[in-house]
Amino acid sequence: MGPMFRYILGSSVKYLASLPALRHHHMLQNRMSTSPPPVAAVCQVTASPDKEANFSACKQLLEEARQQGACMVFLPEGFDYIGSSREETLSLSETLTGDMISRYTQLARKLEVWLSLGGFHERGHDWESDRRIYNSHIIINNKGDIMSVYRKSHLFDVELPEKGVSLKESAFTIPGASLVPPVQTPIGKVGLGVCYDLRFPELSLALQRHGADILTYPSAFTVATGAAHWEVLLRARAIETQCFVLAAAQVGRHHEKRSSYGHALAVDPWGDVVGDCGGEKPGMVLVEVDLEKVNRTRRNMPVQQHRRDTAFYQSLSQT
């Protein structure tokens, strides 16, 4: 089964393995270890334009995750809402000091849990004149402090008529200006991306070079691109960086014009999928983030040490 268990919120709660049993198994396996690895919860939600309903659903997932022993919870891109038009998307947006984020900081403090809020519609700094937003990934600690804000830097402007995919994110979104350093959390150093960033390996390698043990790509992948590329890209990013990859996801129908692929995933540093929420409905996977697995993978296959200097990879542009 691998070091995780899964349940789906819905008519029935399915336990594929219980955490206490897992814990007991790990203790027997390694009596020398003082404490079991920390647990992260990777969530899957179906956001709509109804912010209140979305908050209520996410709050329930956070409470469940905490109850099951998670010390950090990952929510997907658009956890706050998914609008049905450009106008609606813009009008529902808020600043970081608005009501929505203050409710999440209070929740983090109350539950004593770290949060990765994977894609918040943040009003741009020149909102009055510009009327555009950032797609912001916010890390909040268990005291309710905002520890980091990464603004999505690669915007999804894609037309695939034969697949029925047409999205132009840059029409209303400002690209982020820079990467942010990996954040030290109770599960390890987390490097931040958002959705479409997943397709750019330069980003993951830069975060890994700056100390990331875990990469996270909260997403709202379309059904067509998700079926074709989601799992293979997440596993590739894990394999090439030898990091855990945690990817919360949107699932199902948000409104009449948009649906998402689902399959929130957790991948270990070897590239094995250790948790998958499926493509049907909201829920979560819990995964034990054992950093010894990162160290062992990097020790046994020292890819980073075998990497040539930057000049080598740029040598083609000199010719």
| DSSP structure class, residue 40 | E
pLDDT at 18: 46
- Give the domain range for residue 132: 4-318
Inter-helix orientation angle 51-67/99-111, to 10°: 10
Query: Which residue type does 285 have?
Result: V
Count of domains in the chain? Answer: 1
Known catalytic residue at 87: no
Q: How do residues 185-211 score in pLDDT, each as one tens digit?
A: 999 999 999 999 999 999 999 999 999
Q: How do residues 3-47 score in pLDDT, each as one tens digit?
A: 444 444 433 233 333 455 555 555 545 545 578 999 999 999 999
User: What average pLDDT does the segment 259-286 reach?
Assistant: 97
For the chain, give the mean pLDDT.
Answer: 90
User: What average pLDDT does the segment 129-142 reach?
Assistant: 96
Q: Which residue has the higher pLDDT, 1 or 240?
A: 240
CA atoms lying within 13 Å on the CB side of residue 2 = 19
Chain mean position to CA 1? 22
- 43, 64, 77, 288: the catalytic one is 77
The structure's pTM equals 0.89
> What's the CATH code of the domain at 172?
3.60.110.10
Known catalytic residue at 152: yes
> Given pLDDT bands bounded at 50, 70 and 90, which one contains residue 133?
very high
- 43, 152, 243, 293: the catalytic one is 152
Q: Is the pLDDT of residue 84 over 90?
A: yes
- 43, 71, 195, 277: the catalytic one is 195
Known catalytic residue at 277: no
Q: What span, in angstroms and rounded, lies between the C-alpha atoms of 205 and 242?
A: 10
User: What average pLDDT does the segment 276-290 reach?
Assistant: 97
- Cα–Cα distances (Å) from 78 to 84, 117, 228, in that order, read 12, 9, 21
Inter-helix orientation angle 231-241/201-209, to 10°: 30
Beta strands in the chain (DSSP E): 4-8, 39-45, 70-77, 114-123, 133-140, 146-151, 157-160, 165-168, 183-185, 188-192, 214-216, 244-247, 249-255, 258-261, 265-267, 273-276, 283-288
> Given pLDDT bands bounded at 50, 70 and 90, which one contains residue 158?
confident
3-state DSSP assignment of residue 160: strand
